[in-house]
Amino acid sequence: VRGRSEICEAVLLRSVDYGDSDRIVTLLTSRFGKGAFLARGARRSRKRFGGALEPLCVLQVEIGSGQGTLGTLRQATVTRTFPRVLGELARMAAGFSSLELVPELSSEHDEDTGVFSTVLAFLSALDLRDIEPAKLALCFEMRLLSLQGLGPRLHECGSCGKRPGPAQAGQFDPTHGYLVCRECGGAPYLLAGELREALVRASGHGWLECARGSWSALEVDQASAALRAFTEHRIGRELRARSLAPSHGGAG
Ligand SMILES: [Zn+2]
């Protein structure tokens, strides 16, 4: 297949310098799932990629097979940007920390897991003025986990099976990924009742609508901490939105 190339949409997930002038980028593509690609000359000159290797936007890329599992990125252009995401710090931060989950929670060469369209919907919604970034990030994380079959069980006690009422808070154990009721000893993270119910729904197709609920900032913070502790436990390391943050200024 050497020499063949494909054109598709992509979102940049990670970028690391390689050698004196190249970069290795991890892309989530619309057709081939996640993959790593060598972008030759990406640091030496902006001509080739025209400054297109930026996170938090949609790219059109031309990719080819390379050596082993590393493909080649031949061209990239930005086809869609999200001005409010780039212009508001809270939205940008939510974007970085959410997209950092994607390489961990997606597979290579998966053609139709729904991850790409979910990421696209996430970025579009993050750009909307009436969407709160923290709520959106929480629902996105829940949906992404469930797309990979890793979603936590927030509807019943994992020990005895007892279900809390619709508006009843639950105590969540991130190590096991389920609720533990008071009779069974409880768990460290509190999930407010209606938000807990919404997160159960956010594992399904209606996840975006769950981001419009009217929960308090404290409830959202508690649930975000609970879910992130669970995700980190599943991934096996602590996540920091570092790899995508614009740390080496003025590249190229
Ligand atoms: Zn129980």
C-alpha–C-alpha distance, residues 49 and 3, integer Å: 19
Residues 6+ away with beta carbon under 8 Å from 219: 192, 195
State the distance from the centre of ligand 1 to the C-alpha of 154, rounded, in angstroms.
12
156 CA to middle of ligand 1, Å? Answer: 8
144 C-alpha vs ligand 1 centroid, how far in Å? 27
Find the Cα–Cα–Cα–Cα dihedral 99, 107, 172, 89, rounded to 10°: 0
Could you tell me the distance, in angstroms and rounded to a whole number, from the CA of residue 168 to the centre of ligand 1? 14
Predicted pLDDT at 242: 45
pLDDT of the residue at 57: 96
For residue 247, what pLDDT is reported? 44
Q: Is 63 helix (H, G, I), strand (E, B) or coil?
A: strand
Distance 187 CA to ligand 1 centre (A): 10
pLDDT in the model for residue 8: 95
What is the Å distance from ligand 1's center to 183 Cα? Answer: 6
- pLDDT score, position 10: 96
Identity of the amino acid at 188: P
Please tell me the distance between residue 72's alpha carbon and the centre of ligand 1 in angstroms.
52
Mean pLDDT, 10 residues at a time, the chain of 252 residues: 81 93 94 92 78 91 86 94 96 96 80 86 97 96 93 96 92 96 96 93 93 92 95 81 46 34
- What would the two tokens of residue 90 be? 């809270």
Nearest-angstrom CA–CA distance, 10 and 4: 18
Instruction: Give residue 184's pLDDT.
Output: 97
179 CA to centre of ligand 1 in angstroms: 8
**Distance in Å, CA 248 to ligand 1 centroid:** 50
**pTM reported for the whole predicted model:** 0.89
Output the CA 219–ligand 1 centroid distance in Å. 22
How many angstroms is it from 177 CA to the middle of ligand 1? 14
Distance CA 197, CA 208 (A): 14
